[in-house]
């Protein structure tokens, strides 16, 4: 026999939660507050907190079908043996002033988040539900600028162990869609992210997935359309496996950026990206590190830095199909400061044992790869295995425009054992080559 009871809350503004006890296991059913307020969009965050306080340890939390209006930050961490089901829509408010001043700090790059979520032995399954960040307000307000203090990551999986996230759909994320930090054994499967703008401003910094200071990670079966990295492994990400991902209009699969902070070494190792498709992306499979000398104003929320050290080792991109990609393959060791060319040959990040295998791509311009390693750390064991890159014009039987170079360009600098790398290097890679390619390389470049 089920025992039903309403959870008593401190104020009338707080939540609408029904708890069922089944074999001494608490199951919390969440219903939108708007059902009690004649459809008014009342903040559901207090009732969500109450549900997790009641059922977050050895229980279940179920968001029933309906629209949950989220008008304040949420911290649902320290969960244990908890199953979460999302059947409705989580609709985050567009009160930009509120979020800029209240989002939770996540330490990395002075960034913040709208929702901290985490625990041990936890599942989070979307059963027809989704997260609506209403990001258009942010895209318009941000006007193509980069990081913005207080602009929140949609959801941060924090201090988690043995966490499974299945079927999560994030529409119009405010900033990065998902961030995994200080966690171990986190699997995100069947992920969908879509960030698209309906005005002249782009969806800058809407990464689909980022990880930092975390180990033993899986991303499998994902579709991501956005305006920045599809999936990014940031500092101290180890044992990451990314499989079966389709990327649209973004920057593909990346390591980095790393080497930003002198007092915070970055080690990234044992990362595999495989079975990936990229359509109309700016990049496909690349590594980006900071220069070796600090530059800029650290108060710009992650837009400045450099001087950090560390190692990127044992990274593989395998079984890629890329269509109309501006720059399919790159190693850049002067990211974010390449425009002024300062200190572009000073990176302290070592890079070794990097492989691109079974890669097929059509390129938007005549450059297929640009691989630059700094004089400080030339790169050993950099390999191409069965890599086929061809310009879109070439596939159509057309000449490349604005250049006398009609063959694909492979730029290489400071590759140890280049003659055995399998890379058909035919030009030197400049140390300040941008990650945003907008034209063909001319013969005189």
pLDDT in tens, 5-36: 333 332 223 348 999 998 888 999 999 999 99
Q: What is the mean pLDDT of residues 50-61?
A: 97
Q: What is the mean pLDDT of residues 184-197?
A: 98
pLDDT at 161: 98
In this structure, is residue 254 part of a structural domain?
A: yes
Entry pTM = 0.94
**445: pLDDT strictly greater than 60:** yes
In this structure, is residue 441 part of a structural domain?
A: no
**221: pLDDT strictly greater than 60:** yes
What percent of the chain is modeled with pLDDT above 90?
Answer: 87
What is the secondary structure of 196-241 as a DSSP string? Answer: --SSSS--TT--SEEEESEEEEEEEEEEEE-SS-SEEE-TTEEEEE
Whole-number average pLDDT of the chain:
93
pLDDT at 273: 98
CA distance 276 to 274: 6
In this structure, is residue 84 part of a structural domain?
A: yes
Mean pLDDT lowest for which of 234-238, 298-302, 326-330, 351-355? 298-302
In this structure, is residue 316 part of a structural domain?
A: yes
pLDDT at 148: 87
Mean pLDDT lowest for which of 9-23, 121-135, 335-349, 369-383? 9-23
Mean pLDDT lowest for which of 34-38, 168-172, 215-219, 244-248? 34-38
**144: pLDDT strictly greater than 60:** yes
Q: What is the mean pLDDT of residues 160-181?
A: 98
pLDDT at 215: 98
CA distance 6 to 36: 14
Q: Which residues contact 203 (CB under 8 A, 6 or more apart)?
A: 135, 139, 195, 196, 197, 226, 227, 228
- Torsion over CA: 31, 33, 38, 40 (sign): negative
CA distance 350 to 293: 15
In this structure, is residue 434 part of a structural domain?
A: no
Q: How many CA atoms lie within 13 A of 262 on its CB side?
A: 7
Domain hosting residue 332, numbered range: 3-420
Q: Of all helices (H) and strands (E), which one includes residue 54?
A: helix 45-55
**414: pLDDT strictly greater than 50:** yes
**311: pLDDT strictly greater than 60:** yes
**396: pLDDT strictly greater than 80:** yes
Top pLDDT among 338 and 348 is at 348
Q: What is the mean pLDDT of residues 81-104?
A: 97
Q: What is the mean pLDDT of residues 244-250?
A: 98
In this structure, is residue 37 part of a structural domain?
A: yes
Bridge partners, residue 105, by sequence: 112
Going by C-alpha positions, the residue among 76, 58, 61, 167 that lies closest to residue 117 is: 76
pLDDT at 302: 63
pLDDT at 300: 55
Distance of CA 110 to the CA centre of its chain: 16
In this structure, is residue 427 part of a structural domain?
A: no
Which CATH number do you get for residue 305?
Answer: 2.160.20.10
In this structure, is residue 445 part of a structural domain?
A: no
Top pLDDT among 24 and 112 is at 112
Q: What radius of gyration, in Å, describes the C-alpha atoms of the chain?
A: 23
The total number of structural domains in the chain stands at 1
In degrees rounded to 5, what are phi and psi of residue 17? -130, 135
pLDDT at 384: 98
pLDDT at 297: 62
Q: Which residues contact 158 (CB under 8 A, 6 or more apart)?
A: 77, 106, 116, 117, 118, 181, 182, 183
**298: pLDDT strictly greater than 70:** no
pLDDT at 295: 80
pLDDT at 10: 29
Positions annotated as catalytic residues are 228
Give how far Cα 362 sits from Cα of 39, 122, 387, 389, 402, Å. Answer: 51, 41, 11, 6, 18
């Amino acid at each position: 026999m089920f025992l039903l009871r309403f959870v008593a809350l401190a104020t009338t503004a707080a939540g609408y939660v029904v708890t069922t006890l089944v074999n001494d296991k608490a199951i919390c059913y969440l219903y939108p507050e708007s059902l009690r307020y004649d459809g008014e969009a009342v903040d559901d965050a207090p009732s969500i907190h109450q549900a997790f306080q009641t059922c977050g340890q050895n229980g279940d939390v179920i968001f029933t079908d309906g629209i949950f209006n989220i008008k304040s930050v949420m911290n649902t961490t320290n969960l244990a043996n908890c199953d979460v089901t999302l059947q409705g829509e989580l609709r985050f408010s567009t009160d930009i002033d509120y979020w800029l001043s209240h989002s939770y700090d996540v330490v990395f790059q002075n960034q913040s988040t709208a929702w901290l979520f985490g625990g041990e032995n936890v599942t989070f399954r979307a059963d027809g539900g989704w997260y609506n960040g209403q990001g258009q307000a942010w895209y318009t307000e941000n006007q193509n600028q980069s990081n913005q203090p207080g602009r929140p990551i949609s959801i941060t999986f924090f201090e988690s162990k043995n966490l499974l996230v299945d079927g999560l759909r994030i529409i119009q994320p405010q900033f990065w869609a998902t961030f995994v930090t200080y966690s171990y054994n986190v699997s995100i499967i069947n992920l969908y992210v879509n960030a698209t703008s309906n005005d002249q401003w782009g969806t800058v910094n809407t990464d689909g997935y980022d990880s930092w200071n975390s180990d033993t990670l899986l991303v499998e079966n994902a579709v991501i359309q956005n305006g920045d990295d599809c999936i990014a492994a940031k500092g101290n990400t180890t044992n990451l496996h990314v499989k079966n991902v389709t990327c649209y209009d973004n920057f593909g699969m990346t390591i980095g950026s790393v080497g930003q902070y002198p007092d915070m070494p970055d080690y990234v190792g044992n990362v595999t990206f495989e079975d990936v498709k990229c359509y109309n992306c700016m990049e496909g499979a690349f590594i980006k590190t900071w220069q070796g000398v600090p530059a800029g104003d650290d108060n710009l929320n992650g837009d400045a830095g450099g001087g950090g050290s560390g190692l990127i080792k044992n990274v593989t991109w395998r079984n890629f199909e890329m269509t109309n990609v501006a720059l399919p393959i790159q190693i850049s060791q002067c990211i974010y400061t390449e425009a002024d060319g300062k200190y572009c040959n000073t990176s302290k990040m070592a890079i070794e044992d990097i492989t691109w295998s079974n890669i097929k791509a059509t390129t938007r311009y005549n450059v297929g790869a640009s691989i630059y390693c700094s004089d400080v750390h030339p790169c050993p064991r950099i390999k191409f295995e069965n890599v086929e890159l061809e310009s879109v014009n070439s596939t159509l039987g057309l000449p490349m425009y604005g250049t006398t170079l009609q063959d694909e360009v492979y730029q290489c600098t400071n590759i140890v054992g280049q003659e055995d790398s399998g890379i058909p290097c035919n030009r030197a890679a400049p140390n300040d080559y941008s990650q945003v390619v907008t034209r063909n390389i001319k013969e005189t470049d």
